[in-house]
Structure 1
Amino acid sequence: MELVGPPAPGGTGETAGLDGPAGGYAGEAVTGHSGRSGAQEKEAAMGKPNPIEVQKALKGIRYPADTSSLAEQARKNHADKDLVQRMENLKGRKFDGPNDVEKAIFD
């Protein structure tokens, strides 16, 4: 990691990411890294949702829920079209909670 600028106030400048009260260097460039692993980045690029995206899409849903309710809630939460489509493709099922939905989507 290339350091940009002086250490944050109170920091020693010796260990990247651990100096200063904010945990970084003053003037350090923001990389925009999503915090996902390489495999998660690849899945996202290929249209596979991750569990966090599924939970965000289903925020506010009441269980038990059927597939049309899942898809409708995901649309209301502005979920990715591919994720909505995956939910619609789980036809004829009822889900008792978010774990059931994730198992159906990822298995």
Structure 2
Amino acid sequence: MYTAQQNHKDNKDVVFLFVNTWEQAADKKKNVEEFFNGKPYSFLMQALDTEDKMVSGFKVDGIPTKFVLDKQGKIRFKSVGYDSNESKTVDDIAAMIQLAGEASNGTN
């Protein structure tokens, strides 16, 4: 996800938001902070969903789950699961972002 984020860092219409859900550690916040400590991520926000409200609200049934929303906040794409082929994941995300942008601008 770092590579995908870096590829779109200059696009003001693209924002990456990561929400940590289903955290099992006793001190959930500390566990997440330790994971991100020293990593080169510059997310708009890191959210910790301690009550799994995002899970139920967005019908998340596996992790990681990736959503691409258009400018109006409409979910255009949902992808569940991890793919070890980072290049494919980055390309897939780029395609979803492009299509969501086109749909949002009325060109699709």
Using structure 2 for the length normalisation, give the TM-score: 0.24
Using structure 1 for the length normalisation, give the TM-score: 0.24
Structure with larger Rg: 1
Higher relative contact order (CA 8 A, sep 6+): 2
Q: Name whichever structure is richer in strand by fraction.
A: 2
